[in-house]
Structure 1
């Protein structure tokens, strides 16, 4: 397997501290990783109200000490109004080598070299709920909505379907969480992702008139691009992602609520060194969840063998307990 790079997006605020945890866990848990960790950093400009960059100071210094390489890029299409678009526009700034994109709220729990990536067959995360589309009573169903998008970009719709799933059930259709995805060429993949996303944003098909495109635009376009490059759903060779090797934890309360004992152990092990702890304690959620015991309180609220099927049930329970922190 060729060496590959990791791309994540870092900005001022919460994403800075998430990036510190990502970089620290990569260094600690995947010491044989041979590529570079690039932190794409949007630059100030007309599409940002303030300066989105990671400010100079202890967190930025620690990220560089941990081996992260800051990668500046210009926001020409999305910016402040749709920050999820950063992951789309940042791809053009990467060296044109195989890449794995990770959201900053990802914890590395094991050796990435054990994942059998085929960078010529892109894939993405299936740790996702059926958030889009939401068919209307008198409008097109899942088949009609998704087929419209495949037709828009001259893609074969039928070959994208999981025929083991029932018709009009959301899992029958190719739909990913954009928390991780990979391909051999960030330039080609990023250009196609930007083309599709901009097309749907600026000129959505009539069939989508009742569908919300935000904040789902990246997740709507991602399966189309993966399919366009000959990829699809992840196979068993990628089971370490969203498994024993990576954890897309989303928020610390959700991590403590639903993730395995191993993930919690890695989180607390990686954040224990003083140089890591000193920086992460500056963010309230990290301080209160990890070092003031609030994470343990959340963990005691849930039985990991019988978790609610829908994430919003956990979120609401945690909020009612006054323990929802981001």
Structure 2
């Protein structure tokens, strides 16, 4: 399955995502030169769901992406947009070629190894398990995790019991299928995207009693994603451990956090792929990258932490960086 041809899509728009998408493309070409599918940078078209033009307009970024053989892919927002930008990863799927296997990555990701070595089975979708119990948050008067998740499975006619991890204790969040939407994959983006959009829109718009008091912003995509994956026969075991979110990719999220806690390999890839002048001159236009990568302030953050003994809570890392005036994002 690893030799199967597939496409990649990330989001790029008129904000920091355009620079992250460029770094993603540079890291893909450097670390996975054998990848022979298409790399799409999907960008939302202007329209009534945006107050300002969100599309990727920066000509320097567009030129650099073209030099890295990335294709700009415009798409329309019919459901989401400025009110929920996370919905871009859902609606962009509908613009991808039908019937061609795909992997979606969040733009704040670096490829750090050979992506073609990952044994994707595109008939069984999966997603990132680098996740905390961010959603749902059961309220004092209930329902609990089981009541909330079972209501969603039943709403969409899905078998709830087969999604449960019986090795986890009752009412522990890990007992229930839950993913980070930082990457996901399947054999057809249109099928996946249509169902993802339907489930997310239904969860957002219908009055499902068990969801009373639950915050869906920004968690709507991650509330719907497990249901979509389960509906197509996927699950937790779709990929071996240690590849994506491991030796082959890094979802760093924010550059101060990258320097604080990621491996030396990730730092090496970041600084290697950003060094060529055709990339560097574009990235320097984005002040956090200019200061952290090219002016060395990222290493000042790195020196603050022992990467083998990081604080248990991310909030503590953020607080320490902010105290030094280095929280640049």
Q: Per the shorter chain, which TM-score range?
A: over 0.9
Q: Give the gaps of 5 or more residues in structure 1.
A: none
User: Which residues of 2 match residues 41-80 of structure 1 at below 5 A?
Assistant: 41-80=43-82
Q: CA shift at 1:57, angstroms?
A: 1.6
Equivalent residues in 2 for 1:150-161, closer than 5 Å: 150-161=153-164
CA–CA separation in structure 1 for the residues paired with 2:228 and 2:277: 42
Q: Does the C-alpha gap of structure 1 residues 218 and 304 become closer, same or farther in structure 2, counting only changes over 3 Å?
A: same
**Post-superposition offset of 1:7:** 0.8
| Corresponding position: 1:10 with 2:22 | no
The equivalences for 1:175-190 within 5 A come to 175-190=178-193
| Partner of residue 200, structure 2 | 197
Is the 2:126–2:239 contact (alpha carbons within 8 Å) kept by the matching residues of 1?
no
Q: Identify the residue that residue 299 of structure 2 maps to in structure 1.
A: 296
8 Å contact 2:77–2:91 — kept in the other structure?
yes
Runs of 5+ unmatched residues, structure 2: none
Find the partner of 1:27 among 26, 29, 53.
29
Partners of 1:282 and 1:313 lie apart in 2 by 29
1:127 is aligned, of 130, 143, 146, to 130
Q: Please report how far the alpha carbon of residue 312 of structure 1 lies from its aligned counterpart in structure 2 after TM superposition.
A: 2.1
Q: CA contact under 8 A between 2:41 and 2:72: conserved in structure 1?
A: yes
Is the Cα–Cα contact under 8 Å of residues 124 and 238 in structure 2 kept in the other structure? no
CA pair 236-184 structure 1, distance change in 2 beyond 3 A? closer
SS, match of residue 88 in structure 1: helix
- The secondary structure found in structure 1 opposite 2:222 is helix
Post-superposition CA distance 1:48-92 (Å, at most 9, x none):
111111114211111111111111111000011100000101111
- Taking the TM superposition and a 5 Å limit, the aligned residue runs for 1:106-255 are 106-235=109-238, 237=240, 239-255=242-258
Q: Give the Å deviation of 1:309.
A: 2.6
Cα offset, 1:316, TM superposition: 2.1
Matched ranges for 1:266-285 at <5 A = 266-285=269-288
| Aligned counterpart, 2:96 | 94
State TM-score, norm by structure 1.
0.98
Q: Distance in 2 between matches of 1:317 and 1:63?
A: 35
Query: Which residue of 292, 310, 314 maps to 2:313?
Result: 310
Instruction: Spell out, residue by residue over 1:169-224, the C-alpha distance to the aligned partner (whole angstroms, 9 max, x if none).
Output: 11111111100000001111101000000001111411111100111000100000
- Could you list the per-position Cα deviations for residues 263-310 of structure 1 after superposition, in whole angstroms to 9, with x for gaps in the alignment? 101111111111111110110111111111211111111111122233
Distance across 2 between alignment mates of 1:194 and 1:235: 22
Specify the alignment match of 2:262 in structure 1. Answer: 259
Q: CA–CA distance in 1 between the matches of 2:158 and 2:173? A: 19
User: How many residue pairs align between the two structures?
Assistant: 326
Is the CA contact 1:126–1:234 (under 8 Å) kept in the aligned structure 2? Answer: no
8 Å contact kept, 1:117–1:237:
no
Q: 2:121, 2:238 within 8 Å by CA — same for their partners in 1?
A: no
State the distance in 1 between where 2:257 and 2:237 align: 24
- What is the CA distance between 1:238 and its match in structure 2? 5.3
> Any conservation in 1 of the 2:6–2:102 contact (CA below 8 Å)?
yes
Q: Which moved more, 1:300-309 or 1:99-108?
A: 300-309
Deviation digits for residues 95-121 of structure 1, max 9, x if unmatched? 020000001111011111100000001
